[in-house]
Amino acid sequence: MTLRNEIELRNTREKLRELESMYERAKARSDERSRRLGMMAFKKLINQLKEEIAIFEAHHPAKT
């Protein structure tokens, strides 16, 4: 997915914040296997969103 505008960028940043929060909660789970699988899935999504944000910012200079 490629971010096309500032609205998508803002929404992606919000999703990223939510996923990072969920990731931190997953770290506290007691079941090791479930925790590991959940954390791997969260980390993959977090990295994907960070990459999308970075690509967008590289192609669209920040507005001042």
Is 55 among the domain residues? yes
Distances (CA, A) of 45 to 30, 60, 61, 64: 22, 22, 24, 29
Is 16 among the domain residues? yes
Structure tokens at 14: 């919000």
- Answer yes or no: is pLDDT of 1 > 80: no
Q: Which of 3-12, 16-25, 34-43 has the lowest mean pLDDT?
A: 34-43
> What residues contact residue 11 under an 8 Å CB cut-off, 6+ apart?
none
Q: Taking the model in full, what pTM does it have?
A: 0.68
Is 64 among the domain residues? no
Domain count, the chain: 1
Is 19 among the domain residues? yes
Q: The domain containing residue 26 runs over which residues? A: 6-59
